[in-house]
Chains A and B, each alone.
Chain A
Amino acid sequence: MNETRILSEQETAEILAAAGHYPDKSAASVEALKIVQKYRGWVSDEALKTVAGLLEMSPDELDGVATFYNLIFRRPVGENVILCCDSVSCWMLGADRIREHLSERLGIGLGETTADGRYTLLPIVCLGACDRAPVLMVGEELYEDVDESKIDELLKRNGQTWTDR
């Protein structure tokens, strides 16, 4: 195995530490994929195969897990993933309008990444902030009571800083 060549020592150490929380290493499958994503943004075939080796799973088995979950990315994403809630309370309070505005400002549709690789726009199910609808999540940050002007402000403000994630 060329584990060290594909994953950094840090990634490998974090994955093995997570695996230690369970009697069976494969229980750390989602956590391991998230660790890879934390450093690389997405999970490539090579990374997936290496992780599978570490967790004593077959690559297909691990890919079955990876493709099951909404937040594991098997294709490259932008530096900043914008998750737009499209569930019922946000929908009632203008989520479609918010998404259209984002699409227009960024020049991309859902599932797409800007040409400069900075933003990916994705739909997400209810983010559990329905009393502050409509909401977005950018990276790990929740944005509540979003409207067009807040989006413009957010994009402008993050125009300079979003590259250091």
Chain B
Amino acid sequence: MDRPLTQNIKPDLSPVTLDDYRRAGGYEGLAKALKEMAPADVIGAVKDSGLRGRGGAGFPTGVKWSLVPQGESAEQKYVVVNADEMEPGTFKDRLLMEADPHQLIEGVVIAAYAVQADTAYIFLRGEYHLSASRLEQALGEARSAAYLGKNILGSDFDLEIHLHTSAGRYICGEETALLNSLEGKRAIPRAKPPFPQISGLWGRPTVVNNVETFCNVPHIIRNGVDWYRGLGRGEDAGTKLFGASGRVKKPGLWELPMGTPIRVLIEECAGGMQEGYTLRGFLPGGASTDFLLPEHLDLPMDFDAMMKAGSRLGTGTMIVLDDQTCPVRMVLNLERFFAQESCGWCTPCRDGLPWVVELLEGLLAGRGRPEDLDQLEQLARLMGPGNTFCALAPGAAEPLQSALKYFRADFERYLKPASTARVA
């Protein structure tokens, strides 16, 4: 089975050197793009490949790129790598950056050629120190080998990539907040439209994609669209990094075809639950996705299939809930995170999340009233899509609303009899 994203990664996770990367066909995709393809052909290939964004939203990558104004305009354009991996439960981009940094760089250069950008930034979360040093090392190697800089591989295409490290704030992963942060401001989301492809960094057309998304691009260009589409087992194309954490026997990360059943990930790759624990449910794609249950294990890990089941594929890194962890306390942990990381820009998020935390804390402290559960449901609706500038609060609502649906009895167990609760 082809595992393009991790094929070069060494068992000890030491970084793939430029020589190793080239020996395995690295930078051939870039050479092909620059020598044989017009920028529009590259966008066409990525569109036809069916690649969907690996940061969580699953937006078709080629379509995103095609929204950037094309043609012989002298306007400055940018490509930005969203390497602000801070979604709780998510640990996939770190592996790609630490273990095979040239794969990311090649993907960025091809993307920049496709949209005709001459500057790119890698927006990296501040805590990823090892990723930072390995990326700097690889960027230096790429510059020396003419994969970056002026007249890349003898073409008339120029690109410089700068590494920009952040200082810890989850909201920076939201693409418009990321742009504000990259401009040196507080990371507050921007209203959309205009979308970044039209008006992004410093008001210029900008493409923002996740690390893993860029890492797919060299393989699509080198091996072709048909090969890439053939990698998926279901509706979606390609492979993806999937992970599992929690009380499974072997927590970890695996590259699997899109469309692989969840059961393969949790029971085969992760070895099932640890002795003495049973599976209660799981968040399929990080903290901001709806819970799913054991009955969902045979679902394919595809974007649309997960949506139909009432959740999202998200980042594809699953957080497993066992039968001895209280789902109410787990939701409190998640909501505290979202409340803390809210940027405070809009009301449903800034006020709604602390309210959720307060209600959950009250419930756990024995101060809960039956109407609190209705209030929590109402808050989840209030923080839902369409009421906020960005996806932080809607994301926070997902584990809350699904926990209230699937684990209702666990919430009710904390309720005091109505007569005594009134007094408090």
Contacts and interface: CB of A to CB of B under 8 A. Distances in A.
Interface of A: 21-24, 26-31, 33-34, 55, 57, 64-65, 68-72, 83, 86-89, 91-93, 124-133, 137, 140, 142
Contacts of B125: 128
B287 A92 contact: no
B202 A69 contact: no
A125 B167 contact: no
B170 interface: yes
A40 to B, nearest CB: 15
Interface in B336-390: 337, 340-341, 343
A140 B162 CA distance: 21
A30 B184 contact: yes
B88 A124 contact: no
A7 to B, nearest CB: 18
Contact of B251 (A22, A24, A28, A132): A132
Contacts of B283: 88
B183 interface: yes
A68 B169 contact: yes
B314 interface: no
20 contacts: A29-B184, A30-B166, A68-B169, A69-B167, A70-B167, A70-B169, A71-B168, A72-B167, A87-B287, A88-B319, A92-B330, A126-B89, A126-B287, A126-B337, A128-B125, A129-B91, A130-B243, A131-B245, A131-B252, A133-B251
A88 B338 CA distance: 11
Contact of A88 (B88, B170, B322): B88
Contacts of A133: 245, 251
B45 interface: no
Contacts of B333: 86-88, 91
Contacts of A70: 167-169
A142 B253 CA distance: 18
Contact of B88 (A22, A24, A89, A140): A89
Nearest to B170: A125
A70 B337 CA distance: 13
A130 B165 contact: no
A140 B133 CA distance: 11
Contacts of A137: 127
B186 interface: yes
B287 A88 contact: yes
Given A30-B181, A65-B185, A125-B337, 18 more contacts: A23-B202, A26-B183, A31-B164, A31-B165, A55-B184, A64-B186, A87-B89, A88-B89, A89-B245, A89-B246, A91-B330, A92-B322, A128-B125, A130-B89, A131-B244, A131-B252, A132-B251, A133-B251
Given A88-B330, A128-B94, A130-B251, A83 B246 contact: no
A130 B90 contact: yes
Contacts of B94: 128-129
A87 B89 CA distance: 8
A131 B341 contact: no
A125 B341 contact: yes
A26 B186 contact: no
B317 interface: yes
B261 interface: no
Nearest 8 CB-CB pairings of A with B: A70-B168, A130-B245, A69-B167, A131-B251, A29-B184, A87-B88, A140-B129, A126-B88
Nearest to B167: A69
Nearest to B172: A69
B12 to A, nearest CB: 15
B384 to A, nearest CB: 21
A83 to B, nearest CB: 7
B130 interface: yes
Contacts of B253: 131
A130 B86 contact: no
A71 B170 CA distance: 12
Given A27-B182, A30-B166, A126-B90, A89 B126 contact: no
Contacts of A140: 129
Given A88-B334, A125-B86, A128-B85, A27 B186 contact: no
Nearest to B187: A68
Contacts of B186: 64-65, 68
Interface string B115-156: 000000000011111100000000000000000000000000
Contact of A69 (B168, B251, B319): B168
| Residue from B128, B186, B243, B252 having most chain A Cβ neighbours under 10 A | B186
A29 B181 CA distance: 9
B245 A71 contact: no
B127 A128 contact: yes
Nearest to A139: B129
